[in-house]
A = this chain, B = another copy of it.
Amino acid sequence: MQARVYVTLKKGVLDPQGKTIQRAIENLGHQGLLDVRQGKLFEVEVDNALAREEAVRILNSVAQEILTNPVIETFRVEVE
């Protein structure tokens, strides 16, 4: 079973890395991209022996405990 965890910065948290990328894009002549924010993405291969609900439960707790800094980041879990 394939799953994905998307980790993004919370609204209001500054993202200097994203800002730098946005400026690089502009300097290379691409117009119309007003803001860029960088996040993380985890592709997880889940044991098929697990029930879908159990997989979602485990992924949520792993995302909360390990993959995310809860002070500045938020996450979303997606199981195929």
Contact = CB atoms under 8 A, between A and B. Distances in A.
A37 to B, nearest CB: 4
In the complex, the count of this chain's copies comes to 2
Interface residues of A, number: 37
Given A66-B21, A66-B25, A55 B41 contact: no
Contacts of A42: 18, 21, 36-39
B67 A21 contact: yes
Contact of A58 (B6, B33, B58): B33
Contacts of A35: 44-45
Interface of A: 6-8, 18, 21, 24-25, 28, 30-47, 49-50, 54-55, 58-59, 61-62, 65-67
